[in-house]
């Protein structure tokens, strides 16, 4: 006979799985919309132009929606992660992942200014807020990854997380390295900036980690 406690536990596992699925959906919406922007707004150089600058084009609303979907997806995944981890939970890691998600929501709400990587000045309040929220989100992602990988791996037996502990900080380092070199050299590839390339490589590392963590949570909760 199934007890009330067992029924409640099953509902909690189902809720965690649904939150992980919502996280995956938000991230995939982001990936799909950004890919679409690269196709329908082809005049921007993906090597030198940051993803945020697509908001300045004719389809800028897609970028705002993409960032919002990503942020909400991360927040859903954070809630799922908190639900499946035993006490004591890694509060610092969960807090940082929450801040990363909130940062991406703010990124979507406040459009950037045009960005010159060799002279990165922001002339509007919206641009300043966008830049600050973006850096906050990137930094929190980079730190949350190493803090949460092992707890999620242990709670879900997700072997695919092995070796991914330092993937987010590696992407973060690439982003800053390209930005610093661009600033110092006036363009990493001659007169051509590589800031956009560095940002995209960082985004790929974050997305890989997030998707694998979410899939691990979903699988563990559905099988349980």
Question: pLDDT (tens digit, 9 = 90+) per residue, 103-151?
Answer: 999 999 999 888 765 566 677 889 889 999 999 999 999 999 999 999 9
188: nearest Cα among 205, 206, 172, 175: 175
Residues 196-208 have a mean pLDDT of 95
pLDDT at residue 119, rounded to an integer: 63
Evaluate whether 71 touches 101 at the Cβ level (below 8 Å).
Answer: yes
In this prediction, residue 86 carries a pLDDT of 86
Q: How far apart are CA 1 and CA 163, in angstroms?
A: 42
Residue 219 has which token pair? 């699988």
Q: Which is nearest to 141 in space by CA: 110, 176, 171, 105?
A: 171
What proportion of the chain, given as a percentage, has pLDDT over 70? 88
pLDDT of residue 210: 97
pLDDT, mean over the chain: 89
Nearest-angstrom CA–CA distance, 43 and 146: 37
Segment 76-100, tens digit of pLDDT: 999 999 999 988 889 999 999 999 9
CA 73 to chain centre: 9
Q: Residue 194: which pLDDT band, with cuts at 50, 70 and 90? A: confident
* Predicted local distance difference test score (pLDDT) of residue 115: 73
CB 131 within 8 A of CB 53: no
Higher pLDDT, 163 or 81: 81
**Which of residues 118 and 207 earns the better pLDDT score?**
207
pLDDT of residue 136: 97
* DSSP secondary structure letters along the chain: ---HHHHHHHHHHHHHHHHHHHHHHHHHHHHHHHHHHHHHSTTS-TTTS-GGGGGGSTTHHHHHHHHHHHHHHHHHHHHHHHHHSPSSP-HHHHHHHHHHHHHHHHHHHSPPPP--TTS----SHHHHHHHHHHHHHHHHHHHHHHHHHHHHHHHHT-GGGTT-TTHHHHHHHHHHHHHHHHHHHTSSBTTB--HHHHHHHHHHHHHHHHHHHHHHHHHHHHH-
User: Which class for 125: exposed (0-12), middle (13-18), buried (19 or more C-beta within 10 A)?
Assistant: exposed
Lowest mean per-residue pLDDT among 2-11, 62-71, 72-81, 101-110 = 2-11
Mean pLDDT of 60-79: 97
Q: What is the pTM of this model?
A: 0.91
pLDDT value, residue 195: 85
What pLDDT score does 190 carry?
60
Q: What's the confidence (pLDDT) of residue 114?
A: 81
pLDDT value at position 186?
Answer: 61
Provide the pLDDT for residue 191.
65
Least confident interval from 65-74, 105-114, 140-149, 153-162: 153-162
């Amino acid at each position: 006979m199934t007890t009330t406690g067992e029924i409640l536990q099953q509902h909690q596992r189902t809720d965690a799985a649904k939150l992980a699925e919502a996280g995956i959906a938000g991230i995939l919406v982001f990936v799909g919309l950004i890919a679409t922007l690269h196709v329908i707004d082809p005049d921007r150089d993906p090597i030198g132009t940051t993803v945020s600058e697509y908001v300045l084009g004719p389809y800028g609303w897609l970028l705002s929606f993409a960032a919002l979907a990503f942020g909400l997806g991360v927040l859903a995944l954070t809630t799922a992660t908190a639900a499946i981890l035993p006490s004591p939970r890694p509060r610092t890691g969960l807090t940082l992942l929450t801040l990363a998600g909130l940062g991406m929501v703010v990124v979507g709400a406040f459009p950037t200014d045009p960005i010159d990587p060799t002279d990165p000045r922001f002339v509007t309040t919206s641009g300043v807020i966008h830049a600050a929220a973006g850096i906050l989100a990137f930094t929190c992602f980079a730190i949350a990854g190493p803090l949460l990988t092992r707890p999620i791996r242990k709670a879900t037996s997700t072997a695919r997380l092995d070796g991914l502990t330092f993937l987010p900080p590696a992407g973060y380092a690439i982003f800053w390295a390209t930005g610093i070199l661009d600033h110092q050299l006036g363009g990493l590839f001659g007169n051509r900036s590589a800031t956009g390339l560095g940002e995209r490589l960082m985004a790929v590392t974050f997305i890989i980690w997030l998707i694998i963590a979410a899939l691990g949570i979903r699988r563990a909760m559905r099988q349980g």
